[in-house]
């Protein structure tokens, strides 16, 4: 989608600190990190949200594979981490392009807000 923020990051029209990339997904550091490690994993193809995705197993599987790899590369796999997909207004989604938050590097409280 032309004016989507994360599509523009995929096209390198907006700067981001990219930490991993493959044919399907891109991972980059969140601009407002909520933990020492806070990375967003997105599908390169525009999809508005988890609710809108046509092939959830395929797309979320590819995102989970990248999240696992990035967590290991960031050194947080041993201590643990959290993966979150916010969906829609009540879910706290503010950017309309499906993304998975990978958070780690501190003890994360539960339940979330």
Residue 99 bears catalytic tag? yes
- Kindly report the backbone phi and psi dihedral angles of residue 5, in degrees, each rounded to the nearest multiple of 5, phi listed first: -55, -50
* 77 forms part of the interface with ligand AMP (CB under 6 A): no
* 94 forms part of the interface with ligand AMP (CB under 6 A): yes
DSSP-based three-state secondary structure for 41: strand
Name the residue nearer to ligand AMP (CB basis): 32 or 78: 32
Q: What dihedral do alpha carbons 97, 49, 27, 29 form, nearest 10°? A: 70
| The binder of ligand AMP chosen from 4, 77, 95, 108 (CB under 6 A) | 95
DSSP-based three-state secondary structure for 100: strand
Give the residues lining the site for ligand AMP (CB under 6 A): 5, 14, 16, 30-32, 40, 86, 92-95
């Amino acid at each position: 989608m032309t004016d989507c923020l994360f599509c523009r990051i995929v096209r390198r029209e907006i700067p981001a600190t990219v930490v991993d990339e493959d044919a399907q997904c891109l991972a980059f550091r969140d601009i407002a990190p909520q933990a020492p490690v806070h990375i967003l994993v997105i599908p390169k193809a525009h999809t508005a949200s988890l609710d809108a995705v046509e092939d959830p197993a395929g797309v979320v599987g590819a995102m989970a594979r990248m999240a696992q790899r990035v967590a290991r590369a960031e050194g947080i796999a041993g201590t643990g981490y959290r993966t979150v997909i916010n969906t829609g207004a009540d879910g706290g989604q503010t950017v309309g392009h499906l993304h998975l938050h990978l958070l780690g590097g501190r003890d994360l409280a539960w339940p979330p807000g």
